[in-house]
Amino acid sequence: MPLQQTVKIIDEDSHKTKQAPKIIHWKGVTMARNHSFMATIHEIVNFSAELDVCRIGLVGDMHSGKSTLSQAIAHAIHTTAKVPYAIKVLYKPDLLDFKGTLAKLEPVNQILIFDDVSFMGAEANRKQIESVKSAISTIRHLDGGKDVKIIVLMNYHYSLGLDKYLRTADFKYITTVGSSENENMEKMFGTKYHKKIIDFKKYRSKAVTQHRWVMRITKTQQIKYEYRNPFIPVLFWNEQSLRFVVSPTRQWMSPICSKCTEGEGMLTSSQVPIEKFVEESEHKFGSSTFLAATKLTLFTEGKNVYSKSVVAAYRYLNRCRESKMISLEQMAEHYKLSITNTKLRKQMDGVMSDD
């Protein structure tokens, strides 16, 4: 659980003590509790527990972080919900043949990320749009005869630039508000949020241009965030209120998540059962050797899974090298290590030889 602390703030005008929003620490990063990304996730999880289909809209300009945000939302949901969810990211070809796409999905609870449906306002014809709308209406009845829970995330560019039915959502995350979007936002959320929308535009602008932004949490206290280190500013709407939140990446929350990787289309898990693959690979190379190779591969990709003692020794060795006390070549000679030139002579058989 995040470490929490209550901060007492003195109102300089009235000289009365007021209790400010709690300051918490998420993985060592300071944030205001009322900016919590995970609080929005708990709302979504509780909502979806009562209904079969939950729809989430993500609105913002291109390259504003919608895809990254949708991955963070999906990861947070599947690790928080009491029921298991599979994840699937759907791209343009998947959406243009949406009924065919649904037919391929397993009849289990699904988090479906529509990576970008903005094209449906211009490129897709009416028949394709109606096909998607019809499929969404019956999406919980996946082939297999079993009703499942579905959470749909739709990413698009403009708040009113999509078919009204498709942009209808139970929750919305806003990553940017363009100069022409102020009026549209007020239509969606109400004129009472005019100042909040303007403030958000300022936060977003400062975040991008200065790589940090400051948000006021009381009349006398502010909190500073570093842009993408790890958060970005976001507006969250739950049909009751509009509020500021700060969102991290999925990789920051959890660097290793096979379910998310499969959902992003980076794996074809149905073709290569992981248990069978590991069994055959350990038989070829030995279990300890193959485990060492896995750890080394993760390390070279920036994902350290070595023990704390190994990491401490690694950092100690590098610090000694930086101070010119020793060289890596000296260490190699001391331990009689030599450069290897090894070719892969093991055949790709078993599950890895399947088409």
If pLDDT is split at 50, 70 and 90, which confidence band does 78 have? very high
Q: Tell me the average pLDDT across 79-83.
A: 92
* C-alpha 126, offset from chain centre: 32
| Rounded Cα–Cα distance for residues 2 and 4 (Å) | 6
Q: What is the DSSP string of 228-252?
A: TTTBEEEEEE-SS-EEEEEE--HHH
pLDDT digits (tens, 9 = 90+) for 9-62: 334 444 444 567 789 999 999 999 999 999 999 999 999 999 888 999 999 888
Q: Is the pLDDT of residue 170 over 60?
A: yes
| Rounded Cα–Cα distance for residues 89 and 109 (Å) | 14
Where are the chain's structural domains? 3-253, 271-353
| Rounded Cα–Cα distance for residues 85 and 283 (Å) | 33
| 20 and 218 Cβ atoms separated by less than 8 Å | yes
Q: Is the pLDDT of residue 3 over 60?
A: no
- Give 106 or 144, the one with higher predicted confidence: 106
| 159 and 59 Cβ atoms separated by less than 8 Å | yes
- Weakest-pLDDT range from 111-115, 163-167, 243-247, 337-341: 163-167
| 143 and 107 Cβ atoms separated by less than 8 Å | yes
**Do β-strands 171-174 and 232-237 pair in parallel, antiparallel, or remain unpaired?**
antiparallel
CB atoms within 10 A of CB 59: 30
Q: For the stretch 219-247, what's the b/e string if a residue is b when 16 or more beta carbons lie within 10 angstroms of its beta carbon?
A: eeeebebebeebbbbbbbbeeeebbbbbb
pLDDT value for 349: 63
CB atoms within 10 A of CB 89: 21
Q: Tell me the average pLDDT across 132-145.
A: 65
Q: Is the pLDDT of residue 354 over 60?
A: no
pLDDT value for 11: 42
pLDDT value for 120: 63
Q: Is the pLDDT of residue 122 over 60?
A: no
Amino acid at 189: F
On whether the 3-253 domain is CATH 3.20.20.70, my answer is no
Q: Tell me the average pLDDT across 238-264.
A: 90
- In this prediction, what percent of the chain has a pLDDT beyond 70? 77
Q: What is the pTM of this model?
A: 0.73
- From residue 207, give the alpha-carbon distance in Å to each of 20, 26, 60, 161, 328: 24, 20, 15, 26, 41
pLDDT digits (tens, 9 = 90+) for 65-75: 899 999 999 99
Picking from 240, 239, 263, 241, the residue whose alpha carbon sits closest to that of residue 250 is 263
